[in-house]
Structure formats: structure tokens, C-alpha cells
Structure 1
Amino acid sequence: MAITSGRNFWCLCGSIVLVATTPFVAAETKMFESVQVTPADEYTHGIEGPAADLDGNLYVVNFGKPGTIGRLPAGGAASEAFTALPEGSVGNAIRFDRSGTMFIADYKKHNIFAIPKGGTEPVAWFHSDEMNQPNDITIARDGTIYASDPNWKGREGHIWRIAKSADGPVQGQVMSAPRAMGTTNGIDLSPDGRTLYVGESSNGQVWSYAIRDNELTDAKLVKTFQPDTIDGLRTDVAGRLYVARILKGTIALMKPNGAVEREIALKGKEPTNLAFGGSDGKTVFVTQRQGGFIESFRTDQPGREHCLQRGRC
């Protein structure tokens, strides 16, 4: 059986039969070798926010036009429309909590939207006019949302903590920090939920913080890349970090101490973010601003979020 351009060809009864297969199957046979999954230009220049549900469907913002969310079905080779945010809102990040609820960061109108499992209608979960955006988000085991909130013009930013209060309402506030932050962008938690990793695009730095209620403490510089060359980041169950090297066209895979294990070469040169998916959580999907498509590669550990959704982290 020969494989050509992600499709399988074989001869049957004297005729050629064409059977379409998932383009990212090839990525599952060679570790860390990325392949393009979806056609070019399905998504806008604002392609971002990938997140996979328990069924293996991948959700990405700005499908065809701003303010939409597309879905790449498990095993699919092209995205389809999933839903749209209210008029004027534009998504930048998507995450799932342990119950299967989808949360979307709306950077235009300063909202966090929620879509219950099985639903398609976005419902306002949190709003604050004091926010610059929000940009990227991550969710803890108890449902607490941490959101990066960059001020791109001022090349600075901070982190919001958003959670339900004891009497029910969702409340959010800026977390105190031991240092002035750059433009906060990519964000994720360690597998034990005790450490928050934050990428600062303006200075190319990744920092770690211990979490103490609404306070970030014990700031440690994990790694310094070139300024303006990092975007989204994710962690796996081994505690390693995957950092989107926008403009370099790679994903940097590094240990919590900042030692880079490998730079995973991508098809596109402008990766904005990434997410773990697939049946075992070891397929990494990458959103590409250059070309407006999704690509993927296989890795050797499941993602933290994949583990969290299954109640194992």
C-alpha cells in the first residue's frame, strides 16, 4: 500500500480505488514529525485557541471569519462551523474543565464565555471592563480559571484569577505578583496545579510562579528566548513545557528547569498555540497563522489538560 500526500491508494479488480484517510495518521507513526491536518485558509489570521474534548474533537477560534468557532471532528480532514460568539466578540483561547464545559476567552469584549457539554450556545461566565483582553486561559482541577491579560502597546501585563465565590457568583481579580510582568501571553499549570507558567511575548521569557490563593509568589525565570518569538504554551503530564515559537516555526519542548529537549519543526512558520488531543492525549495540534491551518505531531506523553478532563490529574 503506497501513501501519497496523506491519501491511500491501492488496486482492486483492475481499477484504482481512492480512500481518504486522516492526514495526521502519518504524524502518529513518526514521533515529533508534524504534518498539515486541515486545508489552508480555513481560518483567519486570528487562528488560535485550540482545545480538544473527550471525544477527540478539536475546537479552534475564527473559522472563516472573526467571532466564530470551528470544529475539526475526530479523525477528520477539514473543519466545520461549530458556533459563533455574540456580535462584536472575538475568541482568542478555548479550554475545557473536568465537567466538559468549554470556556472561551473573548479579547474584544473582555468576557469569558461558557458552553456546557453538549451545547453550542455561549453564555457569559465573567466580564470585567478592567481587563485589557483576556488572552490565553488555563483551568485548575477545582475549576479556577487563570487568564493572561496583556497590554500590547504598553508591553506589560498581568494575570487574572477567576473563580466561583463561596456564595455562588463568579468573581475575578488581578493576582498580585513579585515582579512587573511583560506582555503576558501563553499560560498553563503544572500537573500538580501548584505552579503557574506564564510566557511574556515582549521579552521572550517564560516564568514560573507558586500559587497562593490570589497571590503569585516565588517567581523563577525558566527560559529566555528572543523577544517577540513566543506565543501559546502547554504542559504535559511529565511537567514538560511546549512553547509555540511564533516566527521561528517550531515548538520548543523543554523541561521545567528550562533545558530544551528538542525544537519540533513545523510546516508553517507562525504557530500561535497548541493543544493535546487524540484518544490517548499524545497528539499535539498546532494552529498556524501562516496559512490559516492546523497541523499536528505525536509526542510521548499526554497533555495535562487531557489528563484533567479524565479526572486523573
Structure 2
Amino acid sequence: MSITPARFEVFDQRFSVAGDRYLECLFEDGRWTEGPVYVPSGRYLLFSDIPNDRMMRWDETDGSVSVFRSPAGYTNGHTLDRQGRLVSCEHGERRVTRTELDGSTTVLADRWNGKRLNSPNDVVVASDGSIWFTDPPYGILSDYEGHRAEPEIDGCHVYRIDPGSGEVERVADDFERPNGLAFAPDERTLYIADTARGHIRAFRVEGRKLVGGEVLCESPEGNFDGLRIDVEGRLWAAAADVYCFHPDGTLLAKLPIPGPAVSNVVFGGPKRNRLFITATSAVYSILLGTNGSWRL
């Protein structure tokens, strides 16, 4: 583990998040790291190294890094459901899966209206057990992050998996490249990044439907990717660096990160006050004076 100086660039006085003045580099041997998820029951972080088709495991108790799963279906985004089970987006098999507590795998979604999904990218689980995910084409554009293939669906959409029936519903169909997504702490708003258009949209959640979808903020630099929310409702977004936005869309602060691009972030640690950051070939963390929302 190595240490890198770090300091927030603050643009709005409403940002009052204290924390470490350094980043810890936990891993730096990947090709394109993504999809971090913290597993509190074991105190470890899982993340994807997509082009190498593997999932990695960083152990918080001793700092060791090991291969968790390989091959891994070119997994990208991950989250946990309310039972602590791992929910994953697989570029390679073009599906959303759940790893059961006994280690077996259940396919939750691989088709919509009888057609194969593009390559599910990122995923969140609501408190009612419904699973919401984005489906851009990155895993089928080439063999780098999956398997080159022709799309079967007429675009890149956002979907919801019903917790009772397992039905896959399309809930948003006007994105170019839907990517990271995150619920507000009260689950009344779902934020979704459109990487190609360089902005984040805010939808009102009304039962099974998304309403509105106004642009909340534009990317200051780079392309928006993964998103997370803290307990104050602030939006933490991955792009060229890590950016923090107020719920009204105002840019509050920026955390510069080594390397060309940040792909995703997640809050973890026993108190959910450690921000884990996947960035190109590396994974970093920083201890903050705020806590992540429990809605992963």
C-alpha cells in the first residue's frame, strides 16, 4: 500500500466534509478497475478488473489482495441486496446475476421482450427488493470488455427487475449511454448518469415508474460513470476525478485522483465513512468525515 497526498478543491461553502489529507493506494495492477462493493460481513472490498476478466478481493483486516473469481463473465458493476447477496452486472454473458450465500449463481435478467440485453453495467437495489440496472453497449462493442456482438435491442435503456415476479421492465428509454445510478436516501429520487451526453439526470420514483428525468448537473471534466450518495443526500460522482454535488445540482467539491479517469466509487468500512475509488488500473481509498447512505 502506498500513500498519495490528497486535498479537496472546494467550490461551495456548503461542503464541510473533513477527512484524511492522503489517498491510500490499495491496488495498482489492473487494466480497467470498476464496480467496487464493500461487504461488511467479511470486511472486504470486491471490484472488477474487466479486461482481465476477473474480480478482485481486498481484505480490510490485513490489506491483502487476491483473486475472488476468474473468469468472471467480464463483470462490471456490483451491489449487495438486503440479504447481503452479491448482485453483479456481467458484460460477457450480458446478464444480471446474484451470487447466493452457498456460492451458486442465479440469473436475474438476461433478456427483455425475448431479446438479449446489451451488457448490463451498473446496478442498485431498492428497499423493496427491486433491482434497477443500466444497459449500455460497452461489453459488445469489442472483445476488450466482453465479446463483440450485434445489439438485439433498439437502444440503451434502464430496467427494473420486480422482486416478486422477476419481470424485467424498461423504465427509461431516452438515454444514449446510461451508466452509474444511485438512489437518494429516501428513495424518492433515482440519479442516473448518461456518459455519452456528459450529464446526470434526476428522476422521481413513483412505484415501478420513473418520472421527470431533468438534467441535474453537467460533468466539469471527463465522462460521468459511477455514482454514490452520502447520508446528507450529496451525490458523489466518478469522472476525470471524484466530484461531489449538492442535491440541487451545485458542484460542491472535487477530489483529484492520480491517473487519467475514475470509473466508480463506493462507501465502505465499518462506519461507511471510507470512500473506495476505482481509477483506471488502480484502487484508492480515503477516510472521510461523512458516511455513505446504506442504500447501495
Give me the TM-score of the superposition, normalised by structure 1. 0.77
User: How many Å separate the matches in 2 of 1:125 and 1:85?
Assistant: 19
SS in 1 for 2:263: strand
Q: Give the aligned partner of residue 133 of structure 1.
A: 119
Matches within 5 A, 1:36-47: 36-41=24-29, 43-45=30-32, 47=33
Q: Quote the residue 1:270 is aligned against.
A: 261
Name the residue aligned to 1:240.
234
- The answer on 1:116 being equivalent to 2:100 is yes
SS in 1 for 2:200: strand
Corresponding letter in the other structure for 2:19: M
Name the CA distance, whole Å, in 2 between partners of 1:83 and 1:217.
38
Residues 1:299 and 2:288 are matched in the alignment: yes
Per the alignment, in what secondary structure is the counterpart of residue 52 of structure 2?
A: coil
Match of 1:172 in 2: 168
Contact 1:50 1:286 in 2 (8 A): yes
- Offset of residue 265 of structure 1: 1.3
Deviation at 1:236, TM superposition (A): 1.0
Higher mean C-alpha displacement, 207-216 vs 252-261:
207-216
Gaps of 5+ in 2: 8-17, 142-150
Matching residue within 49, 52, 58 for 2:38:
52
Which residue identity does 2:23 align to in structure 1?
A: V
Residue by residue over 1:88-111, the C-alpha shift from the partner in whole angstroms, topping out at 9 and shown as x without a partner, is x21011100121011010122221
- Aligned-pair CA distance for 1:303: 1.2
> 1: distance between equivalents of 2:22 and 2:213?
33
Equivalent of residue 251 in structure 2, options 256, 260, 276 = 260
1:9 is aligned to none
How far the C-alpha of 1:149 sits from its partner, in A, is: 1.4
- Secondary structure of 1:109 counterpart: coil
The reply on whether 1:144 has 2:140 as its aligned counterpart is no
Gaps in structure 1 of 5+ consecutive residues: 7-22
* Residues 26-62 of structure 1: CA deviation (Å, up to 9, x unaligned): 99xx716452432421x232x1110001132100113
Question: Match for residue 17 of structure 1?
Answer: none
Distance in structure 2 (CA, Å) of the matches to 1:110 and 1:231: 19
| Corresponding position of 2:203 | 209
Candidates 38, 63, 66, aligned match of 1:77: 63
Once the two structures are TM-superposed, the CA of residue 122 in structure 1 deviates from its matched residue by 3.0
**What SS does the corresponding residue of 2:83 show, helix, strand or coil?**
coil
Could you tell me whether the CA contact under 8 Å between 1:35 and 1:267 is conserved in 2? no
Separation in structure 2 between the aligned mates of residue 64 and residue 72 of structure 1, nearest angstrom: 19
Structure of larger gyration radius: 1
* TM-score, normalization by structure 2: 0.81
Equivalent AA in structure 1 for residue 248 of structure 2: N
Q: Tell whether the 8 Å contact from 2:222 to 2:261 is kept in structure 1 after alignment.
A: no
For the pair 1:161 / 2:160, whether they are aligned, the reply is yes
1:282 aligns with 2:273: yes
1:120–1:293: structure 2 CA closer, same or farther, 3 Å change rule? Answer: farther
Contact kept? 1:138, 1:147, Cα under 8 Å: yes
Q: Which moved more, 1:148-157 or 1:222-231?
A: 148-157
Q: Percent identity?
A: 21
Instruction: Indicate conservation of the 8 Å contact 2:26/2:285, yes or no.
Output: no
How much has 1:299 moved relative to structure 2?
2.2
